Structure 1
Amino acid sequence: ETCKECIECGFTSVMFDGSHYDYEENVAKTKEVVEYAHARGVVVEAELGKLAGVEDDVKVDAANATYTDPDQAVDFVKRTGVDSLAIAIGTSHGAYKFKGEAKLDFDRLETITKKLEDAGFHNFPIVLHGASSVDQRCVAMCNEFGGKIDGAKGIPAEMLRKASSMAVCKINMDTDLRLAMTAAIRKSFGENPAAFDPRGYLGDARNLIQELVEDKIKNVIGSVDSMK
């Protein structure tokens, strides 16, 4: 219903996440969204596999996270007609992605890509959710000005660069943007405790978010040439 409402409001793409359903229900619901969207010239991203962490108040612990099955990915794309697919290869939602060393299953990504190619889906767009680097400068800024974000750890930039050099063409980094906004606002309040005008501290937040996004585009994802 939300996807339909967005389409009717003029969005040219929607994302439907049915990964919390069982496989067949995910296929059926995604196909329903795709058929409705395609009839109106709208593209659809869907999700297969469960990411650990918290997103939109939905919590999935590490024990219940599931990596995307390569054969299932091909079947899913065939049966739903989806335009891009978010897969699970080890990323997770939130600021506390890893207790130890970060690890992404690049072999699984390569296998999914190859199987899609063999099935006739050439250069099929793969998406990574839960892929923030958890920028340590922003974490430090939050903590310096009263925050308690200790031990936060994200996906190393070199892993994101590798993913973007493969089939991954969209990487979601929401946590990094949240951290940047929070850090800038905390710093603004810390340095100007008498301030109460949102145009000031929200302006600082906007500037830090822009700086962070530009750095991701140029130095992490390597897509700066596509912007010219």
Structure 2
Amino acid sequence: MSLVNGKSMLDAARAGSYAIGAFNTNNLEWTRGILAAAQEKGVPVLIQTSMGAAKYMGGYELCLHLVQDTVKSMGITVPVVMHLDHGNYEAAKECIEVGYNSVMFDGHDLPFAENLEKTKEIVALAHAKGISVEAEVGSIGGEEDGIVGAGELADVEEAKTLAATGIDYLACGIGNIHGQYPANWTGLNLDRLSELAAVIKTPLVLHGGSGIPKDQIQKAVKMGISKVNVNTECQLVFAAATRKYIEEGKDQEGKGFDPRKLFAPGTKAITELVEDRIEWFGTEAAK
């Protein structure tokens, strides 16, 4: 199946009170692991690259071709969206030119007026090519590719204004953070999410989905979250499975050092995690 943009699947998710998982890829193994899970569950999926991961992998065009070619080689039949995660203005424009199906312009660190104007520009450029757009209001806590957010709550009026630009989905700060959650984290602010969902019909996005308790994620999905981003958890399970393989000495058995064998447990762990999160998000309702 050819890659698709995210608008129709996210609109359907919002209407059906379920969410689509958006999983970051870092290499071939990540890509195969994510796609295998989506295919097994028979559900749509977003595969994302951050600016840093794309640089590491060799650029946005290489990342796009990797996902396109892996979809073809694996015989994937479920809808797949290639999405830029937390892109700045230049990255969003580059990914539009390269041919990503969906881009996030993250202008939360700019003065709101500038975020608004640049979002309008990205929407015009992207929609002219059939590419969906995500924007952000209210910073997401933690750090991702040098973009640091304190985790403040999204302002409802600013969110309404940003949604009115014609974006296809909106990332909103509701107490969520990137990376691992600290022990003193107080949880999602579902009251603010309720306020946002009451006045914004645009599908809402939950960043920092790794580590949020299942019950909070599911409440958030029922309230209007239509896309949940997961990255850190995939990194953690991949590392844990790889560590176990080495600590058990399997890399020293025969040709256990072969990267195809060395990375296999981690890839399987990603597939299992993605399948589990698909169930959490209720994505199977998309069938």
TM-score interval, smaller chain: 0.7 to 0.9
Number of residue pairs aligned between Structure 1 and Structure 2 = 194
Residue 71 of structure 1: CA displacement? 1.3
Relative to the length of structure 1, the TM-score reads: 0.80
2:281 aligned with 1:221: yes
What amino acid is aligned across from residue 112 of structure 1 in structure 2?
A: L
Aligned partner of residue 199 in structure 1, secondary structure: helix
Gaps of 5+ in 1: 117-121, 134-154
Q: Which has the higher contact order (CA 8 A, sep 6+)?
A: 2
Residue 65 of structure 1: CA displacement? 3.3
1:87 to 164, 169, 172: 172
2:204 aligned with 1:126: yes
What amino acid is aligned across from residue 129 of structure 1 in structure 2?
A: H
Relative to the length of structure 2, the TM-score reads: 0.64
Q: 1:160 to 1:130 in 2, by over 3 A?
A: same
1:1-228 alignment, distance < 5 Å:
1-60=90-149, 64-78=150-164, 80-95=165-180, 97-100=181-184, 102-116=186-200, 122=201, 124-133=202-211, 155-191=212-248, 192-194=250-252, 195-218=256-279, 220-226=280-286, 228=287
Aligned partner of residue 15 in structure 1, secondary structure: strand
The answer (yes or no) to whether the contact 1:184–1:201 under 8 Å persists in 2 is no
Structure with the larger strand share: 2
Among the aligned pairs, what percent are the same residue?
41
What amino acid is aligned across from residue 82 of structure 1 in structure 2?
A: I
Residue 193 of structure 1: CA displacement? 4.6
Residue 6 of structure 1: CA displacement? 1.6
Counterpart Cα distance in 2 of 1:107 and 1:59: 24
The answer (yes or no) to whether the contact 1:113–1:167 under 8 Å persists in 2 is yes
What amino acid is aligned across from residue 71 of structure 1 in structure 2?
A: E
- Structure with higher Rg: it is 1
Aligned partner of residue 172 in structure 1, secondary structure: strand
Residue 81 of structure 1: CA displacement? 1.8
Alignment-derived partner of residue 150 in structure 1: none
The answer (yes or no) to whether the contact 1:71–1:115 under 8 Å persists in 2 is no
Counterpart Cα distance in 1 of 2:147 and 2:197: 28
Residue 2 of structure 1: CA displacement? 2.0
Aligned partner of residue 47 in structure 1, secondary structure: strand
Counterpart Cα distance in 1 of 2:115 and 2:98: 24
Q: RMSD between aligned alpha carbons?
A: 1.5
The answer (yes or no) to whether the contact 2:106–2:136 under 8 Å persists in 1 is yes
Residue 113 of structure 1: CA displacement? 1.3
